[in-house]
């Protein structure tokens, strides 16, 4: 089994020992798509990292054509930010727990926040306000358990049994109401990739993964819809069908008894199909609705992974996250082999990410048929009437000083 380090070991992602799954992939084409989705996420993140927070006008004058060092975070070319770190935390939980364990996911996000776990620099950086607030609320709830049970170390409380957590009715949903930033979506891919063989479960858990840190139903439903697209791409659906206005209708059984929020349905119907892109209102900003539209626009308006990734970055603003979200779907559709070999060779911890993809593929066959997912209440944490629309909250870089993310993001 691929062993992920504990946070106190301070092992950087590129130094984690690579262990291959015990058997060859059942379907190399599927593995190519899973690898494409995870590498696509990280490549998009790394492409956008150097110009994150830069406005559209700056990108028009200085368009991104390749991975660059320096810029917003002073990273080396190929290093990635919070988007990939959180996706790797999520993937490491799915692999280590052989399934969806919401408490363990929050633990690993906490490790990233507190110790720089699975960060390309060994430090937590570029964290959004919404994500930070949810992780800090998780700390607070854990500390209540530590006091009650006289637990002395973080590691002990991080490894509490499911039975005790159930007894305590521990609530893993740590977000405030009305939080609909794109941080729920930027890390999503490991869930639909792990559960792609059971699409209804993949869609359901995609939504729940977002709700852990982003409590608005618009955020959850954006994750459900995008999770469905990733599953369909992995299963080989055509680009035409993925972007068809009836995709949601044609896959209704995947969404169960909870219809998508009307805002997300509008996107599924094709609100992103705007020929002039930015000039027609496409924005790579922090609200999940805007970023989802931007990522889908980049996929719809281009004909290769590389072209679409650059289109996503060159929208400006939340460049890394727009491109990371694009990369999850586009990578699943085009496949690993169709992502720029140059970018793949530069990408930080490339071998670890491809190894994670191989284990995701392996466990999707060996585990999803026999391991039940953690049972989380079917009821939504917040009513749809509390859902926040993009024009109801501050967006963009004006409401936050660098290097913090905008309030609406992450």
| Six token digits for residue 94 | 């799915």
Residue 121, marked binder = no
Residue 291, marked binder = no
Alpha helices in 8-161 (DSSP H): 28-49, 56-61, 82-97, 102-115, 129-149, 154-158
pLDDT, tens only, 107-130: 999 999 999 999 999 999 999 999
Cα–Cα distances in angstroms (integers) from residue 296 to residues 97, 170, 248, 301, 375, in the given order: 32, 36, 15, 8, 31
Please state at what angle helix 350-366 crosses helix 28-49, rounded to 10 degrees.
140
Task: Count CB atoms within 10 A of the CB of residue 259.
Answer: 13
> What is the band of 92 on the pLDDT scale with cuts at 50, 70, 90?
very high
Longest distance between any two alpha carbons in the chain, whole Å: 60
Residue 320, marked binder = yes
The CA distance from 284 to 58, in Å, is: 14
Residue 83, marked binder = yes
DSSP-assigned states of every residue in 175-233: PPTT--BTHHHHT-THHHHHTTTSHHHHHHHHHHHHHTT---HHHHHHHHHHHHHHHHH
Q: Which of 311, 247, 272 lies closest to 48 in space, CA to CA? A: 311
Contact 133, 176 (CB under 8 A): yes
| Six token digits for residue 112 | 């990233």
pLDDT, tens only, 50-61: 999 999 999 999
The CA distance from 132 to 406, in Å, is: 12
Query: How high does pLDDT run on average in the chain?
Result: 91
> What is the band of 26 on the pLDDT scale with cuts at 50, 70, 90?
confident
CATH topology of domain 37-65+82-388: ADP-ribosylglycohydrolase fold (1.10.4080)
The CA distance from 311 to 326, in Å, is: 10
| Six token digits for residue 30 | 């599927």
Task: Count CB atoms within 10 A of the CB of residue 66.
Answer: 12
The CA distance from 44 to 298, in Å, is: 12
pLDDT, tens only, 236-259: 999 999 999 999 999 999 999 999
Contact 249, 295 (CB under 8 A): no
Residue 257, marked binder = no
Instruction: Please state the domain extents for the chain.
Output: 37-65+82-388
Residue 82, marked binder = yes
For residue 259, report the phi and psi dihedrals to the nearest 5 degrees. Answer: -70, 155
pLDDT at 102: 97
Q: Which of 319, 323, 283 lies closest to 302 in space, CA to CA? A: 323
């Amino acid at each position: 089994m691929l062993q992920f380090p504990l946070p106190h070991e301070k092992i950087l992602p590129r130094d984690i020992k690579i262990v291959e799954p015990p058997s060859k992939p059942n379907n190399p084409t599927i593995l190519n798509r899973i690898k494409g989705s995870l590498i696509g996420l990280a490549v998009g993140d790394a492409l956008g990292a150097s110009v994150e927070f830069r406005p559209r006008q700056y990108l028009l004058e200085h368009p991104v054509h390749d991975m660059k060092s320096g810029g917003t975070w002073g990273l080396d070319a190929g290093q990635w930010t919070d988007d990939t770190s959180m996706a790797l935390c999520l993937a490491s939980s799915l692999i280590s727990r052989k399934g969806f364990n919401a408490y363990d996911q929050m633990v690993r996000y906490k490790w990233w926040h507190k110790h720089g776990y699975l960060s390309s620099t060994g430090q937590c950086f570029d964290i959004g306000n919404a994500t930070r607030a949810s992780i800090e609320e998780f700390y607070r709830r854990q500390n209540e358990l530590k006091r009650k049970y006289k637990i002395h170390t973080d590691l002990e409380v991080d490894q509490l049994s499911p039975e005790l957590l159930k007894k305590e009715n521990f609530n893993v949903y740590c977000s405030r109401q009305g939080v609909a930033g794109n941080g729920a979506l930027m890390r999503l891919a490991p869930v639909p990739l792990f559960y792609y063989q059971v699409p209804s479960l993949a869609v359901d858990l995609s939504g729940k993964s977002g709700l852990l840190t982003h409590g608005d139903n618009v955020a959850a439903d954006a994750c459900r819809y995008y999770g469905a697209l990733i599953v369909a791409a992995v299963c080989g659906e055509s680009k035409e069908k993925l972007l068809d206005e009836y995709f949601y209708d044609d896959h209704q059984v995947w969404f169960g008894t909870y219809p998508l929020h009307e805002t997300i349905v509008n996107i599924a119907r094709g609100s992103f199909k705007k020929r002039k892109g930015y000039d027609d209102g496409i924005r790579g900003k922090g609200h999940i609705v805007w970023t989802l539209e931007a990522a889908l626009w980049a996929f719809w308006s281009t004909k290769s992974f590389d072209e679409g990734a650059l289109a996503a970055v060159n929208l400006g603003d939340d460049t890394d996250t727009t491109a990371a979200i694009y990369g999850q779907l586009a990578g699943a559709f085009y496949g690993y082999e169709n992502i720029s070999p140059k970018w793949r060779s530069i990408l930080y911890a490339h071998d670890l990410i491809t190894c994670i993809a191989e284990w995701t593929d392996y466990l999707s066959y060996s585990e999803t048929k026999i391991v039940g997912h953690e049972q989380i209440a079917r009821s939504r944490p917040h009513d749809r009437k509390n859902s926040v629309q993009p024009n109801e909250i501050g967006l963009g870089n004006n409401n936050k000083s660098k290097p913090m993310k905008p309030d609406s993001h992450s």
